[in-house]
């Protein structure tokens, strides 16, 4: 793919050559199938369409200086999708089937993996949907699992840039005992209105407080929250946030770098005491935050205009492991064929 402008791909849907599919019928999963079509044919009464039986994942593959392609922590994504499936009563795809499909999707679309020095990567999107027809509210008897991929540009084409978040108390992403901890489309539908309002006002995302009391920090729309102060990495413990694999990896690296790591409730009042704030997820690894605007109280929490020292270190370290520039001592990457 010599003629792709890797640096300026952004994050948008783009066709690749093949996608991998697997059907669940008659109580069991079939063999993996390779498809070159970007459409699916499905029953109009599929539960995914009516009752939100849908879960997805997002992970990336990176090309190293050595030319090898590394897939980052896909076993974690496989387990998380299993958990999401349990949460909304979908058939659970075995971890091995998930990882086999991801490997195959990467292998079949090798020419879309961006070169090492571009800062771009291959985004991998696994998807599980209820395809069986039901009109009463109950789980489908048939499911379809798909993995497709697309090259995406570097998240920060102009360098690691801090942005602002906004707190809105009149919108919730997930209920306290709802589906916030599952990676399901319903949570995203619930967050679109607030996300759009935030963007229109110049914020990169909404910072959600816990929806029961609005006393504690939950997470950003599509990314986990962390704050750093007094050599401590602090990230919220809550039943309604999605357990981010990036956050999990950053906690490990933070500890290795000598930071204390705390996973606990983070009271709203504590926001003013952090030295650094970041939003973390597969897309950006870390998106540094320079300000949080509380729309209801018309107040600002301000952080550095430039990314903080620890955020930069953590970001560089995780990226170096992903691209194979530093040893992968935790065994987080798998070299693709």
Ligand X SMILES: *Cc1c(COP(=O)(O)O)cnc(C)c1O
Q: Which residue numbers are catalytic? A: 183
For 231, 260, 276, 286, the CA distances from 257, given in Å and listed in that order, are 10, 9, 16, 16
C-beta of 53 vs 246, nearer to ligand X: 246
183 is a site residue for ligand X (CB under 6 A): yes
224 is a site residue for ligand X (CB under 6 A): yes
Stretch touching ligand X by CB under 6 A, among 102-110, 111-119, 151-159, 217-225: 217-225
C-beta of 105 vs 206, nearer to ligand X: 206
291 is a site residue for ligand X (CB under 6 A): no
223 is a site residue for ligand X (CB under 6 A): yes
* Shortest CB 182 distance to ligand X, Å: 9
Exactly one of 54, 134, 142, 219 binds ligand X (CB under 6 A); which one?
219
Stretch touching ligand X by CB under 6 A, among 37-45, 85-93, 134-142, 216-224: 216-224
85 is a site residue for ligand X (CB under 6 A): no
Exactly one of 278, 281, 307, 308 binds ligand X (CB under 6 A); which one?
281
* Shortest CB 290 distance to ligand X, Å: 20
* Shortest CB 245 distance to ligand X, Å: 4
* Shortest CB 134 distance to ligand X, Å: 26
84 is a site residue for ligand X (CB under 6 A): no
286 is a site residue for ligand X (CB under 6 A): no
Residues in 227-256 at the binding interface with ligand X, rule: CB under 6 A: 242, 244-247
* Shortest CB 222 distance to ligand X, Å: 5
C-beta of 120 vs 242, nearer to ligand X: 242
Ramachandran class of 230: left when φ > 0, alpha when ψ lies in -120 to 50, beta otherwise: left
- The span from the CA of 318 to the CA of 335, in Å, is 16
Contacts with ligand X by CB under 6 A lie at: 58, 183, 219, 222-224, 242, 244-247, 281-282
């Amino acid at each position: 793919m010599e003629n792709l402008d890797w640096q300026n791909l952004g994050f948008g849907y783009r066709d690749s050559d093949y996608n991998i599919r697997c059907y669940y019928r008659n109580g069991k999963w079939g063999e993996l199938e390779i498809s070159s079509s970007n459409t699916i044919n499905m029953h109009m009464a599929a539960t995914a369409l009516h009752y939100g039986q849908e879960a997805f994942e997002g992970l990336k593959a990176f090309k190293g200086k050595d030319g090898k392609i590394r897939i980052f922590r896909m076993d974690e994504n496989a387990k998380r999708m299993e958990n999401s499936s349990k949460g909304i009563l979908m058939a659970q795809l075995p971890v091995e089937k998930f990882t086999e499909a991801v490997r195959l999707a990467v292998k079949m679309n090798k020419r879309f993996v961006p070169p090492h020095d571009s800062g771009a990567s291959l985004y991998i999107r696994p998807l599980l949907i209820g395809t069986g027809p039901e009109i009463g509210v109950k789980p489908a008897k048939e499911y379809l699992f798909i993995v497709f991929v697309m090259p995406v540009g570097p998240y920060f084409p102009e360098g690691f840039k801090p942005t602002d978040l906004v707190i809105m108390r009149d919108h919730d992403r997930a209920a306290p005992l709802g589906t916030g901890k599952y990676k399901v489309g319903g949570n995203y539908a619930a967050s679109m209105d607030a996300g759009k309002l935030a963007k229109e006002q110049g914020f990169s995302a909404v910072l959600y407080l816990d929806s029961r009391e609005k006393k504690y920090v939950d997470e950003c729309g599509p990314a986990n929250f962390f704050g750093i102060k007094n050599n401590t990495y602090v990230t919220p413990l809550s039943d309604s946030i999605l357990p981010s694999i990036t956050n999990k990896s950053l906690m490990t690296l933070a500890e290795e770098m000598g930071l204390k790591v705390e996973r606990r409730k983070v009271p709203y009042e504590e926001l003013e005491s952090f030295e650094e704030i970041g939003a973390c997820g597969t897309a950006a690894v870390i998106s540094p935050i320079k300000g949080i605007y509380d729309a209801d109280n018309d107040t600002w929490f301000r952080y550095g205009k430039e990314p903080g020292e620890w955020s930069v270190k953590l970001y560089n370290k995780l990226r170096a492991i992903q691209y194979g520039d530093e040893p992968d001592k935790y065994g987080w990457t798998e070299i693709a064929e």
